[in-house]
């Protein structure tokens, strides 16, 4: 639980820093009349130099809240734009537990995975992975998909020992099993609205919901050192959209 709390606290700090910096140069009263708002603090965004790109590995974990396929493209395009790159080396897809208030099934994956496969075909993503799939769903996705998942992240807080059937299936199909400590809901809507209310008028924080949360990390390949990392969050409110 401490690790999960740490992840959420990191994200809250990033959101607060970005909003507070953005509000220094923005008329808060004008927000109510805007259709689109983009909030960035560029002193926290480190571009990847083209000359160093081959020495670095860019990994993105995409936490989906709104399961609309086009959002996959938006997220990929956004992180590439902000980091000054044309390709993500690895994208890990993390799905909500209950899309459309239904229990998660392989059918919820398919539209999103098709979009991700399109982005692989376009050269915008090198490899795909997933998070928190049990053996049955991992096998279903692997059999159905054109671009196979090369990684499955497993949260060891809910699974202290890797299930033998999962290990065997992963080994047979060259799927790497990694562990992680992210909470199942990385940014609960109430927490997100509380952050907005804290930085602006309380009424301005109402009715906002995250669409997706993206965490990126840039690794120096030969040294195994993280060069930079950050978050990008997209949210929606009654037909309006906001990007951090």
Q: In terms of Cα–Cα distance, which of 96, 159, 116, 109 is closest to 138? A: 109
Give the domain CATH number at 187.
3.20.20
Q: Is residue 28 part of a domain?
A: no
Q: Any residues with CB less than 8 A from the CB of 6 and at least 6 apart, and which?
A: none
Q: Domain limits at 58?
A: 2-22+38-243
Q: Is residue 30 part of a domain?
A: no
Tokens of 24: 């220094």
- What pLDDT is attached to residue 2? 29
Q: In terms of Cα–Cα distance, which of 47, 59, 32 is closest to 151? A: 59
Q: Is residue 33 part of a domain?
A: no
Region class of 224: left (phi > 0), else alpha (psi between -120 and 50), else beta: left
- What pLDDT is attached to residue 160? 63
Q: In terms of Cα–Cα distance, which of 26, 103, 36, 107 is closest to 74? A: 36
Q: What is the pLDDT of residues 11-65, one digit of tens each?
A: 888 888 888 777 777 666 655 555 455 676 666 678 999 999 999 999 999 999 9
Q: Is residue 29 part of a domain?
A: no
- What pLDDT is attached to residue 244? 53
Q: Is the pLDDT of residue 70 over 80?
A: yes
Total number of domains in the chain: 1
Q: What is the pLDDT of residues 84-127, one digit of tens each?
A: 999 999 999 999 988 888 889 999 999 999 999 999 999 999 99
Q: Is residue 126 part of a domain?
A: yes
Q: What is the pLDDT of residues 154-186, one digit of tens each?
A: 987 765 678 899 999 999 999 999 999 888 888
Q: Is residue 31 part of a domain?
A: no
CA distance 229 to 58: 9
Q: Any residues with CB less than 8 A from the CB of 131 and at least 6 apart, and which?
A: 61, 92, 93, 94, 95, 152, 153, 155, 180, 182
CA distance 138 to 127: 16
DSSP annotation of 219 reads E
- What's the gap between Cα 158 and its chain centre? 20
DSSP annotation of 50 reads G
pLDDT bracket for residue 1 (50, 70, 90):
very low
Q: Is residue 166 part of a domain?
A: yes
What average pLDDT does this structure show over 201-229? 86
Q: Is residue 6 part of a domain?
A: yes
């Amino acid at each position: 639980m401490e690790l999960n709390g740490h992840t959420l606290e990191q994200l809250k700090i990033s959101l607060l820093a970005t909003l507070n910096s953005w509000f220094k140069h923005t008329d808060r009263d004008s927000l109510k009349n805007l259709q689109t708002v983009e909030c960035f603090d560029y002193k926290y965004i480190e571009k990847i130099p083209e000359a160093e790109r081959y020495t670095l590995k860019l990994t993105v974990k995409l936490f989906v809240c709104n399961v609309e396929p086009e959002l996959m493209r938006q997220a990929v395009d956004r992180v590439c734009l902000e980091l000054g790159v044309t390709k993500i080396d690895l994208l890990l897809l993390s799905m909500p537990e209950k899309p459309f208030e239904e229990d998660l099934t392989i059918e919820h994956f398919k539209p999103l995975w098709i979009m991700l496969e399109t982005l692989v075909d376009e050269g915008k993503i090198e490899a795909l992975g997933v998070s928190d799939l049990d053996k049955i769903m991992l096998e279903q996705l692997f059999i159905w998909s054109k671009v196979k998942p090369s990684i499955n992240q497993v949260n060891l807080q809910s699974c202290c020992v890797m299930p033998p059937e999962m290990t065997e299936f992963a080994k047979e199909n060259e799927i790497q099993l990694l562990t992680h400590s992210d909470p199942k809901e990385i940014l609960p809507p109430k927490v997100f609205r509380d952050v907005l209310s804290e930085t602006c008028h309380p009424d301005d924080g109402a009715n906002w919901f995250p669409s997706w949360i993206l965490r990126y990390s840039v690794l120096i390949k030969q040294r195994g050192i993280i060069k930079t990392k950050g978050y990008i969050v997209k949210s929606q409110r009654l037909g309006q959209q906001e990007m951090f």
